Chain A
Amino acid sequence: MGKATYKVQGGKLIKVQLTERNGRIEGIRITGDFFLHPEEFIEDVEEMLLDQPLEESVLADSIRNLMEEKGATLLGALPGDLAKCILMAGGKGG
């Protein structure tokens, strides 16, 4: 299981706990002191990310698209920041 913490410059803290298999996300938990509206959307994001490849731009796009689709708002971080932290937790980023 990989873990990473990422402080967004001028923003909030993101933490990711990750299990990966064959370069894809097997399990993921995103925590932090950011704001997300609606709040339950975090669970939609985590579910969507299952089996996604550990590739930063792919993940950033998926998160961004899902947010647009559901009309969600993220404060204190951008989808790209979440993707970055996920990669760090997978031992591939930073």
Chain B
Amino acid sequence: MVEEWRLLDTGVHDAFYNMALDEAVATARSENLVPNTVRFFRWGPSAVSIGYFQSMEEEVDTAACAERGVNYVRRITGGGAVYHDRDGELTYSMMISEGHRLVSRDIQKAYQTLCSGLTHGLRLLGIPVEFKPINDIIVGGKKISGNAQTRRRGVVHQHGTVLREVDPHLMFTLLKVPSEKIRDKLIKAVEERVTSINDHLGRKVGFEELKGALKEGFEETFKVKLVLGQPIDFEKSLAAKLMAEKYASKEWNFRR
């Protein structure tokens, strides 16, 4: 009997709800109310998320975001500022009990193991990716996925991006840059060091195809079966609470 995990496919929601639901699922997992879970989701409106240790004011041009109707939110995970385009990105998260055979106490090792499901899925799509420590997945030396992990209450909570399309000009309109000259340099750097699924394969890969490949990648690598489920009531009410009291609040987003 193959080990079963829950698969959540929560579709397109705003940044605050997405982060709130992620935390709610991790909490439900920590209380053993739900099994280990893999979640797929997208960001609508498009949004910028920053790492736990970053300063919102330093990293994000909040006026430029407001002009374009782009949200901005602080994550509970470390790492950098990320632009999540509504159509350009699929985000995944996984909430796994820390005692699970896949989870190493060594955080760097755990990144490698957990990302291996993703690398397998992307290879199934025909992209010869590799894991690059600390937390990147690259192809041909260019980054195609970034990942971030936190551990709370006995649960490993990792989430990450899978780039379907990338627009460096838009990215650096929304992220703060020291000057116009630096902006051009940064745009050029991204063009050289970041790639996307559509770019690499030279065709538009649909979200369903992408999710299918990643699901298969997780299942084969982790030796689990992902069974499609729904958030439970506990998760839905906790997400609503976290969204209102934390992720949508100025206090949280501008805390550092």
* Interface set of A (CB-CB < 8 Å, partner B): 11-13, 15, 29-39, 42, 73, 75-76
Contacts and interface: CB of A to CB of B under 8 A. Distances in A.
B107 A39 contact: no
Interface stretch (B64-72, B147-155, B225-233): B147-155
Given A36-B53, A37-B151, A31 B78 contact: no
Contacts of A76: 134
B58 interface: yes
A64 B53 CA distance: 18
A30 B107 CA distance: 22
10 contacts: A12-B80, A33-B78, A33-B81, A35-B77, A35-B134, A37-B107, A37-B151, A39-B53, A39-B76, A42-B53
B72 to A, nearest CB: 16
A31 B134 contact: no
A73 B134 CA distance: 13
In this complex, which of A36, A37, A38 has the most chain B Cβ atoms within 10 angstroms of its Cβ? A37
Identify the 3 closest CB pairs spanning chains A and B, nearest first: A33-B80, A35-B78, A31-B55
Report the interface size class on chain B.
20 to 34
B58 A33 contact: no
A39 B78 contact: yes
A25 B152 CA distance: 31
B256 interface: yes
In this complex, which of B52, B78, B80, B151 has the most chain A Cβ atoms within 10 angstroms of its Cβ? B78
A35 B151 contact: no
A31 B232 CA distance: 36
B134 A32 contact: no
Contact of A35 (B58, B149, B152, B256): B149
A37 B151 CA distance: 7
A39 B108 contact: no
A30 B54 CA distance: 9
